[in-house]
Amino acid sequence: MNQKYPSVLLENAVNELSSLPGVGRKTALRLALYMLRRDAGYTEGFAAALVALRRDVKYCKVCHNICDEDICSICADPQRDRSTVCVVENIKEVMAIENTGQFRGVYHVLGGIISPMDGIGPGDLQIDSLVQRVADGEVGEVVLALSTTMEGDTTNFFIYRKLSPYDVKISVIARGVSIGDEIEYADEITLGRSIVNRTSFNDSIKI
């Protein structure tokens, strides 16, 4: 579409906003006009927060989570169980698992998942540093918490192979029927797995 903008400044702003994932040119225009309606301090604060994030953000030297210091608050917390390491794709998953309040171990953020289609190989991920953590001997269990997709399974298997020389327990998060789901509507692969991997009723009511 050769949409003409009445102002070059507006066009630049729309170009930048529409470069964000999921933001089209119509939405970008709406956002730019919204900024024009707010006072100037709003846009300045908005821009400063984004620049500060990009410039000053750090990654935890241990688990590669995003943080403001050299070591993230989870790795630095003496209450957390350092011997249990949960392997996740990205920081969104760290936040999601932290929200459950069910995990007291620490994390290892891979920064992605093996995906040949997207050109992401094992070398692009923080797998070597995970192996190093295990080799250092402090880790007793590695919990794989990647997406239950083909890419996730591939990455799980790659990590499993890399860690097999070490004396470490490797587990994977439970896959089964979601809480609140009706059995009738569960897909057959999920339902099949949930029957094969059934757990003791006693264990299941602990939470």
**Residues within window 16-55 making contact with a copy of itself, judged by CB under 8 A:** 16-17, 19-22, 27, 29-36, 40, 42-55
Among residues 178, 176, 181, 179, which one has the least CA distance to residue 192? 176
CB of 16 to a copy of itself, least distance (A): 4
> CA-CA distance, 123 to 114, in Å (whole number)?
9
Among residues 132, 113, 114, 120, which one has the least CA distance to residue 62? 132
The residue count for binding a copy of itself (CB under 8 A) is: 58
Work out which of 57, 135, 150, 173 binds a copy of itself, going by CB under 8 A. Answer: 57
* Cβ within 8 Å of residue 73, ≥6 positions away: 67
Selected range binding a copy of itself among 66-74, 158-166, 172-180, 192-200, rule: CB under 8 A: 66-74
Selected range binding a copy of itself among 64-72, 161-169, 178-186, 192-200, rule: CB under 8 A: 64-72
CB of 95 to a copy of itself, least distance (A): 7
CA distances from 188 to 128, 149, 173, 191 (A): 36, 15, 19, 5
73 or 149, CB closer to a copy of itself?
A: 73
**Residues within window 157-196 making contact with a copy of itself, judged by CB under 8 A:** none
CB of 48 to a copy of itself, least distance (A): 7
> What is the full DSSP assignment across 13-61?
HHHHHHTSTT--HHHHHHHHHHHHHS-HHHHHHHHHHHHHHHHH-EE-T
Output the CA angle 35-36-40, nearest 5 degrees.
80
> CA-CA distance, 128 to 182, in Å (whole number)?
41
**Residues within window 69-128 making contact with a copy of itself, judged by CB under 8 A:** 72-74, 90-92, 94-95, 98-99
Output the CA angle 88-86-176, nearest 5 degrees.
80
6 or 184, CB closer to a copy of itself?
A: 6
Which residues would be at the binding site for a copy of itself (CB under 8 A)? 3-10, 12-13, 15-17, 19-22, 27, 29-36, 40, 42-58, 65-68, 72-74, 90-92, 94-95, 98-99
